[in-house]
Structure 1
Amino acid sequence: MTELSPDKLSAEAGVCAADTDENAPPHPYEKLDRATRAALARATAGVSPHSIMATWMDWALHLGRSPGRQLELTERAARDAAKLWVYASEMATGAKATPPFQPRKQDHRFNAPGWQKAPFSLWQQAFLSAQDWWQAATDEMPGIAPRDAERAQFQIRQALDLVSPSNFPWSNPEIINRTFQTGGRNLIEGAAHFLEDVAHTITQQHEPAPQGYEIGKDIAATPGRVVYRNALFELIQYTPRTKRVQAEPILFVPAWIMKYYVLDLSPENSMVRYLVEQGFTVFMISWVNPTADQSDLSLEDYRLNGVMAAIEAIEKIVPGQKIHANGYCLGGTLLAIAAAVMQRDGDDRLASVTLMAAQVDFAEAGELLLFIDDSQVAFVEDLMWLQGYLDRPQMTRTFTTIRAEDLIYARAVRRYFLGEDDLPTDLTVWNNDTTRMPARMHSEYLRGLFLENRLSAGRFSVEGRIVALKDIRVPMFVVGTESDHIAPWRSVYKIRLFTDGDLTFVLTNGGHNGGILSEPGHKHRHYRLGHRPADALYTSPDEWFESAEEKQGSWWPAMVDWIKDRSSGETAPLPMGGKRRGAENLPKAPGSYIHQT
């Protein structure tokens, strides 16, 4: 794969770059600039102030030249104020008052009954009216970049969330009631929680899993063994649980942004355990948690020394059999690249490809796009240049900010003012067990895939040759989730635009993680499934949605049936690790890389 450095990106875009030796050390002036920008990035938690200022400058200048829009917003402000006045008057006279403004569907901050009583209801309505006005004020205008309009809306929502009346003990009826009920104990316990969180933020010490959630015992506990290891990953083979197994094994390629055991959580919701119990030989890649010494790891390293090395190891353990490959999140993007390169080069070792909540086109990549532009990527690159990697807190902040009302402010109210401790679940334990990402690889991913969308645009090369997703001819099983903020399902669906082979698309309810963890017996689950034969005409996502019947229950059995239909039959299980020498000396599952902090 060609190196996706900023200089090469500029050159390929037709920009004349200076004739410099790429291997020459950076000039001291360049080091000074990068160190200065990196220090600023640390001070702003990795957020580019230039990107924020450019967004609001674009919005303000276009609003300033639109007198009609200004009059419209003035009228809206007067109308909203009148609604508030009528509501307050009705409440003052004891009449039945209907709140004129409603919180968003996913906003649960005002669910407590006390918010329906004065004066709290009036404060709530004043806050929601401000939200309503700013939502209208930051709508798209002719001339403004759509991305800037979306960013302005997002940023003003963040600012308003900060001053929501639900965040303060004197304006939140739930906090006031709890304080009276406990005699103030909730505030004392909340202060202890606050000091604990501050200490953790400063020290960044890795907290051990709470009791009942021990890795390798309670979660990530499916029996197996590490059968191959290199500097980048451990390959886990899981112990068969049936007398006969499908001849073709399954290989999971998880994202490197997370630890693999989201796919092997508690026994009752472990996808790995479920597949083993259905008679499959299952292998799992467990990525290393990189350090500053591994800052030069590239996307090509993850493909060649990760996915391809795993396929070669499996080929020796289960000789003569093709592999059903399954990629989750960014692991699915990497798997799609690897599968396209394999078919391009005549490598037919894959029997099928399953992509779960994985994108190959990033033009509609949801709210994460609000954090990505040239200025922001350069900021992150300078920060990684200083550290050698993107650290866990810096990455976590991005995902929590997307749903700040739930993941930041509502949690802070519960923890600091209501005195409630966080109740652990297997998913929250996994979510807190974050990883780092190597500087070079993450820069290539942000620039080459996310920012410039080079894979679907036909400008992403491996070993000097362009990767074409349409080269993938093995059957594909693609899963999207309805409430995904990271990989929106319509973005995942776009794989149908770039491939021509046999493809089955599944849409399940839930979010990026919860929708994938949809084991049989999970309450309130449904899914839609549709099949596209090879070389069929394109169907838009909305047309597909209307034509696909909603089915109740888990989509996992449908995946199992789909894989079995594309397998050659059953055989006796092979010995763990096959005939590989030294495999017996490697650790049992879940391996050692999973414990790296």
Structure 2
Amino acid sequence: MRDHQDIRPQEQTQSAETAADRHPYADLDRMSRAVLARNTGGVSPFSIYQAWNDWALHMSRAPGRQLELGERAVTNAFKVMADTAHNAFEPTDPPPFKPMAYDHRFTHAGWAKMPFRFWQQSFLATQDWWNHATEELRGLSEADSDRVRFMVRQALDVVSPSNLPISNPEIIEQTRKCGGQNILEGARHLTEDMIHTMTQARPEAPEDFRVGEDLACTPGQVVYRNDLFELIQYTPTTAKVQAEPILIVPAWIMKYYILDLSPHNSMIRYLVSQGFTVFAISWCNPERDHADLTLENYRKDGVMAAIDAISVIVPEQKIQAVGYCLGGTILSITAATMARDEDDRLASVTLLAAQTDFSEAGELLLFLDESQVAFLEDLMWAQGYLDRPQMSRTFATIRAEDLIYTRAVKRYWLGKEDLPSDLTVWNNDTTRMPAKMHSEYLRGLFLENRLTAGRFAVEGRVIALKDISVPLYVVGTESDHIAPWKSVYKIRLFSDCDLTFALTSSGHNGGIISEPGHPRRHYRVGHRGEGERYVDPDTWFASEPPIEGSWWTHWAKWLAGRSSGQTDAPQMGAPKAGYPVLGAAPGTYVFQT
């Protein structure tokens, strides 16, 4: 019976290194580090110390840079003082220091007036000095330099004048307008959030944002289930469908319905409306007893099991596979393995904000070195998984200005409720990561970059992305801080097949969920024929003009162009072949907490 098939790894009784083989004090060491990791949010203090030590030692033997920084400090101070004096006579003149483009803490008009302008400019001048102090220094590790800059940014964000009611003109104005009611509302919000943090209870989804009713509500049926995932087949809405079905492989770091949000911006609903037969994987939310799940489990018992099921439900048709984020990474591994093994069941592969080379993986690399990975491994060893809050904090700190401090000011000082949206509800619906799989992911892909280095083995044999011969459609997003678009673009270096690359506006999630009719959206798209020469990302960007609108329309035409034509819609599942309908979409795994 395929329903509830148990695919968890069998308990190992013999191994190269068992608990009995190691000294019993080894577990004491791991437990002590795990306890420390819980208190630091999974951040290794040893990595922090190493970065500061590297920076300080190199700075101590650079008298020229010290003089330069001293001069910059004096110059910045004079700029602030001159602006303060000049502002009394010309209050409309622009200030000498401006916030970063993504920093929205100083948008209120009151920041242009004294004394708030002085406090703002002093903060930004200090920020400018530290940015310069952590720039490239001969002999200093680039990774340590970036880490120090990141840590300084976190420290400065704590003392930003925008955080305090006495130095934030917007808070003062709101307090005067509301007679202090905003402070009372903010105290209530703070109490609620502290309770949720201590109890780890998830806030109930607001009205109009219920999963299965308002979100993840595209009609369909679960046609396969094992311990790792449910496979959903969506109900057709057109008289005829394209012969080749689509399989969507989402990331298991979050719930799958990022691609099936509200009806108006659901990618899955859009594809169904365009005449495609769509299947989607809904991953389970791992528990402690899933600790030994591996990347190979997600490939073989996840993606390959889904391909096997679809091949039976829609026989004699190849599959157009789509992978998002980490789901795209495992799909690329699967596609390369299938190519190596001469399995030709794929018609095309689409990778959405998915990295295959991790040498330029953006600010997430700031959290990764040998010490940090070992620290996380000990934490996961004790828990069996990486928990939701531990991952959420990592992503939030990358954009702390908006995701932590701006939100805190609005919620606790201005007394404003968070405006619910389908994306924020999904963002709060986080999942866990199995310990062994996450360790393999961090070490094999992020830390050692084995996939593009020719050292990633599947079933004992190395795979190569260059073996993939089916057409590729690769999507990056312009302001992605999780999978930077130039990192996504690097798949052009490691493949020779027909490849279309699209770059869309917005970030990691917003750029992908960019439905037709969404205002202020654009994309660039270019094509590389099979065997053509490499073009670097900057040259590509300059040569491809932006196109207003949604990249979905271009992609849907691309998918249709790789179809063999239209046919009658297939039945839901294949009961006689062992794939019965098990229940209505969105299934059961999406509700696991």
Counting only pairs closer than 5 Å after superposition, residues 174-253 of structure 1 correspond to structure 2 as 174-253=170-249
- Correspondent of 1:382 among 353, 378, 390: 378
Q: Within 1, Cα distance between the matches of 2:59 and 2:78?
A: 24
State the AA in 2 paired with 1:197: D
State the AA in 2 paired with 1:501: C
SS of residue in 2 equivalent to 1:456:
helix
Judge conservation of contact 2:575–2:581 (CA < 8 Å) in 1: no
**Structure 1 residue 173 displacement after superposition:** 0.7
State the AA in 2 paired with 1:359: Q
Judge conservation of contact 1:226–1:237 (CA < 8 Å) in 2: yes
**Structure 1 residue 583 displacement after superposition:** 4.7
Q: Is 1:294 aligned to residue 290 of structure 2?
A: yes
Report the more deviating stretch, 203-212 or 59-68. Answer: 203-212
**Structure 1 residue 579 displacement after superposition:** 3.7
RMSD: 1.3
Q: Within 1, Cα distance between the matches of 2:581 and 2:19?
A: 40
Closer, same or farther in 2 for the Cα pair 1:283/1:179, shift >3 Å? same
Which residue in the other structure is 1:110 paired with? 106
- Correspondent of 2:41 among 39, 45, 67: 45
Which residue in the other structure is 2:5 paired with? none
Q: Within 1, Cα distance between the matches of 2:62 and 2:24?
A: 47
SS of residue in 1 equivalent to 2:320:
strand
Judge conservation of contact 1:316–1:580 (CA < 8 Å) in 2: no
Which residue in the other structure is 1:548 paired with? 544
Judge conservation of contact 2:184–2:415 (CA < 8 Å) in 1: yes
Q: Within 2, Cα distance between the matches of 1:516 and 1:25?
A: 49
Q: Within 1, Cα distance between the matches of 2:480 and 2:372?
A: 23
Q: Within 2, Cα distance between the matches of 1:523 and 1:96?
A: 32
State the AA in 2 paired with 1:492: V
Q: Within 1, Cα distance between the matches of 2:106 and 2:136?
A: 29
**Structure 1 residue 22 displacement after superposition:** 5.3
Q: Is 1:56 aligned to residue 52 of structure 2?
A: yes
Mark the runs of 5 or more structure 2 residues left unpaired by the alignment. Answer: 1-14
Closer, same or farther in 2 for the Cα pair 1:227/1:68, shift >3 Å? same
Counting only pairs closer than 5 Å after superposition, residues 45-444 of structure 1 correspond to structure 2 as 45-92=41-88, 97-444=93-440
**Structure 1 residue 520 displacement after superposition:** 0.6
State the AA in 2 paired with 1:488: P
Judge conservation of contact 2:224–2:580 (CA < 8 Å) in 1: no
**Structure 1 residue 475 displacement after superposition:** 0.5
Judge conservation of contact 1:236–1:285 (CA < 8 Å) in 2: yes
Q: Is 1:484 aligned to residue 480 of structure 2?
A: yes
Which residue in the other structure is 2:24 paired with? 28
Q: Deviations over 1:9-43 (max 9, x none)?
A: xxxxxxxxxx9545856431110000000011011
Q: Within 2, Cα distance between the matches of 1:580 and 1:480?
A: 41
Which residue in the other structure is 1:468 paired with? 464
Closer, same or farther in 2 for the Cα pair 1:334/1:95, shift >3 Å? closer
Q: Within 1, Cα distance between the matches of 2:222 and 2:91?
A: 70
Q: Within 1, Cα distance between the matches of 2:204 and 2:91?
A: 55
Which residue in the other structure is 2:451 paired with? 455
Judge conservation of contact 1:90–1:96 (CA < 8 Å) in 2: no
Q: Is 1:576 aligned to residue 563 of structure 2?
A: no
**Structure 1 residue 185 displacement after superposition:** 0.4
**Structure 1 residue 206 displacement after superposition:** 2.2
Q: Within 2, Cα distance between the matches of 1:254 and 1:448?
A: 20
Q: Within 2, Cα distance between the matches of 1:24 and 1:238?
A: 50
Output the TM-score relative to the length of structure 1. 0.95
**Structure 1 residue 328 displacement after superposition:** 0.3
State the AA in 1 paired with 2:336: A
**Structure 1 residue 581 displacement after superposition:** 5.7
SS of residue in 2 equivalent to 1:354:
strand
State the AA in 2 paired with 1:76: R
Which residue in the other structure is 2:515 paired with? 519
Mark the runs of 5 or more structure 1 residues left unpaired by the alignment. Answer: 1-18
Q: Is 1:566 aligned to residue 581 of structure 2?
A: no
Judge conservation of contact 2:324–2:352 (CA < 8 Å) in 1: yes
Q: Within 2, Cα distance between the matches of 1:410 and 1:96?
A: 25
State the AA in 2 paired with 1:115: W
Q: Within 2, Cα distance between the matches of 1:585 and 1:239?
A: 12
Count residues with an aligned counterpart.
579
State the AA in 1 paired with 2:415: G
- Correspondent of 1:532 among 525, 528, 533: 528
Judge conservation of contact 1:477–1:504 (CA < 8 Å) in 2: yes
Q: Within 1, Cα distance between the matches of 2:578 and 2:204?
A: 31
**Structure 1 residue 193 displacement after superposition:** 0.3
Q: Within 1, Cα distance between the matches of 2:581 and 2:459?
A: 35
Q: Within 2, Cα distance between the matches of 1:108 and 1:288?
A: 37
Which residue in the other structure is 1:3 paired with? none
**Structure 1 residue 585 displacement after superposition:** 5.1
Q: Within 2, Cα distance between the matches of 1:368 and 1:97?
A: 38
Judge conservation of contact 1:226–1:583 (CA < 8 Å) in 2: no
Q: Within 2, Cα distance between the matches of 1:479 and 1:95?
A: 45
Judge conservation of contact 2:91–2:113 (CA < 8 Å) in 1: no
Which residue in the other structure is 1:6 paired with? none
State the AA in 2 paired with 1:577: G
Q: Deviations over 1:131-154 (max 9, x none)?
A: 011111111100000111111111
SS of residue in 1 equivalent to 2:143:
helix
**Structure 1 residue 98 displacement after superposition:** 3.8
**Structure 1 residue 584 displacement after superposition:** 4.5
Q: Within 1, Cα distance between the matches of 2:119 and 2:246?
A: 55
Q: Within 2, Cα distance between the matches of 1:132 and 1:21?
A: 51
Q: Within 2, Cα distance between the matches of 1:542 and 1:92?
A: 44
Q: Within 2, Cα distance between the matches of 1:22 and 1:252?
A: 38
Closer, same or farther in 2 for the Cα pair 1:465/1:95, shift >3 Å? closer
Q: Deviations over 1:111-141 (max 9, x none)?
A: 1011111111100001011001111111110
SS of residue in 2 equivalent to 1:494:
helix
**Structure 1 residue 344 displacement after superposition:** 0.3
**Structure 1 residue 94 displacement after superposition:** 6.6
Q: Deviations over 1:343-381 (max 9, x none)?
A: 100100000000000000000001111111111111110
State the AA in 1 paired with 2:554: A
State the AA in 1 paired with 2:43: V
Report the more deviating stretch, 173-182 or 581-590. Answer: 581-590
Output the TM-score relative to the length of structure 2. 0.96
Judge conservation of contact 1:225–1:576 (CA < 8 Å) in 2: yes
Q: Within 2, Cα distance between the matches of 1:269 and 1:591?
A: 20
**Structure 1 residue 194 displacement after superposition:** 0.3
Q: Within 1, Cα distance between the matches of 2:20 and 2:307?
A: 36
Judge conservation of contact 1:248–1:324 (CA < 8 Å) in 2: yes
Identity %: 65
SS of residue in 2 equivalent to 1:455:
helix
Which residue in the other structure is 1:5 paired with? none
